[in-house]
Amino acid sequence: MLPNPSAACGYWPNCAVASNKPFTLAWLALLLLLSGCASQLPLPSEQPRLQLPLQLHIQARNASGSHDRLLVIQQEQQALRWTLLTPLGVPVARQLLIDGRWQADGLLPPNAQARELFAALLFALTPDEQLDRLYAGQRWSRQQHARRLEAGGSASWHVRYRQDGSFQLDVGPRLTYGVAPLDNGAQSR
């Protein structure tokens, strides 16, 4: 049998459970609204033209160590499907990017760190000739073999490209991803 908070208020005259429902709901709505604003990540104005599907080896490195992941990016009608997997093939995160908005794909719980990785990778993978148009409203810069995007403190990404097609991606001050394309064997033949 579950406790009844309203009945408990009869025993404690200063109980505010029943009398402050509108106040509590207003705070809850405000928190949800603020959390939605805080999670807005920089995205291009439209989907960039990428060579899809892409298979990438991702190595996350921070102060506590590193771990490897596999990422598959593929076109799915009007959406980009992002699937992050462990080396054993267990899905860690799945998202669809549809019309400039992220949407859950499947039953995995939300993964804010993976979503930021996907947004930062989209910036890193956008071809140079498309950057001016697709990230026109963003604060980004390009140097030789590198680019950077800053978005009002919510995101700061720095990409350093290598000759072999791999790159380093700093997502904030304490997290770096090593990103390398996976050779599927078809290219070497």
Same domain for 82 and 20? no
Report if residue 130 sits inside a domain: yes
DSSP E strands: which ranges in the chain?
Answer: 54-62, 65-76, 79-85, 91-98, 101-104, 139-143, 146-151, 155-161, 167-171, 176-181
Residues 66 and 144 grouped into a single domain: yes
Q: Which tens digit of pLDDT belongs to each residue from 33-84?
A: 444 444 578 999 999 999 999 999 999 999 999 999 999 999 999 999 999 9
The number of distinct structural domains making up the chain is 2
CA 136/CA 125 separation, integer angstroms: 16
pLDDT for residue 154 is more than 70: no
For residue 14, give its domain range. 5-38
Judged against a pLDDT cut of 50, whether residue 181 lies above it is answered with yes
Which pLDDT score is estimated for 185?
52
The helix (run of H) or strand (run of E) holding residue 34 is helix 21-38
Residues 6+ apart with CB under 8 A from 97: 43, 47, 79, 80, 82, 103, 118, 122
Nearest residue to 101 via CA among 85, 122, 128, 125: 122
> What's the confidence (pLDDT) of residue 3?
54
DSSP label at residue 123: H
Write the CB contacts of 91 (distance below 8 Å, at least 6 apart in sequence). 83, 84, 85, 106, 108
**Tokens matching residue 149:** 């995007």
Q: State the pLDDT confidence band at 187, using cuts at 50, 70 and 90.
A: very low
Q: Show the DSSP H helices in 95-155 as ranges.
A: 112-125, 128-134
pLDDT above 60: residue 10: no
Residue 188 lies in a domain: no
Does 22 fall in a domain?
yes
Kindly indicate the confidence band of residue 32, based on its pLDDT and cuts at 50, 70 and 90. Answer: very low
- Indicate whether 18 and 84 sit together in one domain: no
Average pLDDT value for the chain: 83
**7 or 55, greater pLDDT:** 55
Both 77 and 154 in one domain: the answer is yes
The pTM for the full model equals 0.76
| Of residues 173 and 115, more confidently modeled | 115
